[in-house]
């Protein structure tokens, strides 16, 4: 298969709707019990990009995001995916997950709306499996947040060069790929998002910048992404609780790293400190958290390869 035909896709989803629709309700638990949300009300902080810029460490100057040239050599296979089991607490807790190393991400990675183009506009609710099949993805994992009541996509969304929506400057951690292949991680102003000199061809919002230039950046990210309208407790709980997680980052060669672990909130999985440490130990330079809880999903060739928490 030609490299440019192979896609790696993120999808906003309500996976539990798909699963419940296909199996009897009395044979599994609802994922309503495992909705891991970073904010008690609304989504994202209300302060400006300038606030984030002015409050960061002096060493970063006025730069609130990191850019890295992506790997650009076409090769086969276009990605290597590995399942792993890791001991996160010295023999007392084991975690199952997947890490996928993607070559030439400009040519192979797409941010995909739920169910395909138009999914965010009509607030479509569809699983990663169905979205991956429709889009022809070889690998897929969920990314970005959604309104659990309305199905509305949250944050910035650029899909294959098409601006689906912009957040209006809401300061959550971002992952994007620009037209020249540059990988971008961090906080963006609305002007950054809409810039046409080297526009984003893929862009998705997460919550919490895990690694910045090879160092754990969670404390700084908590300050940047906490909303003034609430206590820090909700966002800090989101960081500290063990759960299923998905994240995205890159290594020093500019290869994209997709990360997913199984779990169930407050019972199994990793907290974001552990995710960041694991990624750092595996050579990741910059990374953001994409999602967590019951919607953490990984799909290979259209088949579910992870264990969403309703399976436990």
Q: What is the pLDDT of residues 135-162, one digit of tens each?
A: 778 888 888 776 667 777 888 999 889 9
187/175 Cα distance (integer angstroms): 9
312/305 Cα distance (integer angstroms): 14
What 3-state class would DSSP assign to 217? coil
Helix (H) or strand (E) holding 138: strand 137-142
Higher pLDDT, 153 or 287: 287
What the block records as the tokens of 300 is: 């290979």
Helix (H) or strand (E) holding 175: strand 174-178
Q: What is the pLDDT of residues 92-140, one digit of tens each?
A: 688 999 999 999 999 999 888 877 787 777 777 766 777 777 777 888 8
Q: What is the pLDDT of residues 244-255, one digit of tens each?
A: 999 999 999 999
What the block records as the tokens of 137 is: 């993805």
Asked if residue 301 lies in contact with residue 84, where contact means CB atoms within 8 angstroms, the answer is: no
The position carrying tokens 């960081």 is 239
Cβ within 8 Å of residue 90, ≥6 positions away:
none
What 3-state class would DSSP assign to 254? coil
* DSSP letter (8 states) at residue 268: B
What is Dmax (Cα atoms) for the chain? 56
What 3-state class would DSSP assign to 55? helix
DSSP 66-80: EEEEPP----SSSEE
pTM of the model: 0.82
Asked if residue 207 lies in contact with residue 225, where contact means CB atoms within 8 angstroms, the answer is: yes
pLDDT of residue 230 exceeding 50, the answer is no
Higher pLDDT, 42 or 266: 266
> Residues for the chain: how many in total?
312
pLDDT of residue 199 exceeding 70, the answer is yes
User: What's the confidence (pLDDT) of residue 155?
Assistant: 86
Helix (H) or strand (E) holding 299: strand 298-300
What the block records as the tokens of 16 is: 């539990």
Tell me the β-bridge partners of 139: 8, 300
Q: What is the pLDDT of residues 170-196, one digit of tens each?
A: 889 999 999 999 999 999 999 999 999
What percent of the chain stands above pLDDT 70?
78
What 3-state class would DSSP assign to 111? strand
225/208 Cα distance (integer angstroms): 7
């Amino acid at each position: 298969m030609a490299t440019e035909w192979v896609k790696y896709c993120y999808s906003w989803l309500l996976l539990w709707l798909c699963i419940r629709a296909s199996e009897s309700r009395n044979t599994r638990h609802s994922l309503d019990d495992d909705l891991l949300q970073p904010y008690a009300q609304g989504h994202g902080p209300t302060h400006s990009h300038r606030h984030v810029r002015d409050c960061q460490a002096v060493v970063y100057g006025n730069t609130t995001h990191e850019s890295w040239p992506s790997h650009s050599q076409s090769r086969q296979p276009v990605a290597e995916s590995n399942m792993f089991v890791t001991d996160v607490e010295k023999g007392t807790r084991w975690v199952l997950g997947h890490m996928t190393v993607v070559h030439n991400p400009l040519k192979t990675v797409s941010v995909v709306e739920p169910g395909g183009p138009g999914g965010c506009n009509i607030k479509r609710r569809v699983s990663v499996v169905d979205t991956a099949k429709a889009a022809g993805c070889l690998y897929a994992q969920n990314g970005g947040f959604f309104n659990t009541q309305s199905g509305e996509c949250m944050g910035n969304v650029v899909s294959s060069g098409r601006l689906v929506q912009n957040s209006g400057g809401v300061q959550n951690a971002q992952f994007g790929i620009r037209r020249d292949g540059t990988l971008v991680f961090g906080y963006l102003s609305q002007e950054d998002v809409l810039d046409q000199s080297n526009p984003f061809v893929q862009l998705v919002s997460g919550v919490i910048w895990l690694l910045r230039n090879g160092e754990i950046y969670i404390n700084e990210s908590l300050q940047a992404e906490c909303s003034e309208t609430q206590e820090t407790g909700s966002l800090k709980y989101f960081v500290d609780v063990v759960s299923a997680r998905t994240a995205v980052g890159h290594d020093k060669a500019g290869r994209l790293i997709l990360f997913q672990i199984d779990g169930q909130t407050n019972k199994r999985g990793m907290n974001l400190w552990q995710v960041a440490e694991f990624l750092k130990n595996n050579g990741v330079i910059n990374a953001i958290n994409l999602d967590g809880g019951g919607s953490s999903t990984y799909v290979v060739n259209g088949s579910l390869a992870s264990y969403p928490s309703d399976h436990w």
